[in-house]
Amino acid sequence: MRLMTRLIAVLIVLFAASPAAAAETRVAVAANFAEPAKVIAARFTARTGHDATLSFGSSGQFYAQIANGAPYEVFLSADRERPEKAEAEGLGVAGSRFTYAIGRLVLYSKTPGLVDGRGAVLSQGRFQKLAIADPRTAPYGVAAVETMKKRRVYQALQPRLVQGTSITQAYQFVETGAAEVGFVAASQLIGVKGGSRWLVPASDHTPIDQQAVLLKTGANSAAAQAFIRFLKGPEARAIIQRYGYEVR
């Protein structure tokens, strides 16, 4: 009887502790990182019991929301500029910023043979519309503009540009035929067969150094802190590489 009483007491403690131990964190994720983030969040929950609620969008839009009090606890940007700014302006926890992925830019078309292996199609002009992410808010858009400028085709192509609010919308423009070609993230093409593509040399643009930062709103959140640790770990890094990113 005494043993049974003790067993019941232990079970009560365990059940009572579980909800308190498990927590939730809200994570703002750059649109290009949506697919690996979903896999990482699922693994994170399986390993820790915590939940990560993900929101996807452009880095610039997220920064504006965070500056205006949006309750995100972790920010996964597509650049280093905005996490640096968040840290400098007191929105991020000092010393928490790090590079979680290095992105690659790809010129892509659903049409086989349209995009060649050297990007010469940019100067040949065998298309009517070219999709890019808005460079005012999306780092991949900045990289696209830098690439066109380096290849001295930007001015000629400006009338043909179709800007998406994020790299996700730029990809959708190509997928739906609204643009014949587009600058997209290499991660978006994992598992995509057919079409034609050119992996833009990393030297053609500023490195797409994607950084994460723990926001002040998550400074005391066990789930937010655990998510940052998990993102730095080997399991998350392997997922990131599988989706076409480089890691340090």
CA dist 185 and 189 (Å) reads 7
CA dist 233 and 225 (Å) reads 13
Residue tagged 């309750």 (tokens) = 71
pTM exceeding 0.85 = no
pLDDT digits (tens, 9 = 90+) for 99-132: 999 999 999 999 999 999 999 999 998 999 999 9
Cβ neighbours of residue 142 under 8 Å, at least 6 residues apart? 79, 135, 205, 206
Q: Which CATH class is domain 2-102+208-242?
A: alpha beta
Domain residue limits, the chain: 2-102+208-242, 105-199
The pLDDT of residue 20: 44
pLDDT digits (tens, 9 = 90+) for 181-195: 999 999 999 989 999
The pLDDT of residue 2: 53
Decide: 141 and 168 in contact? Cβ < 8 Å: no
Cβ neighbours of residue 240 under 8 Å, at least 6 residues apart? 36, 40, 100, 101, 247
Cβ neighbours of residue 11 under 8 Å, at least 6 residues apart? none
Tell me whether the CATH fold assigned to 2-102+208-242 matches the one assigned to 105-199. Answer: yes
Q: Which CATH class is domain 105-199?
A: alpha beta
The pLDDT of residue 11: 39
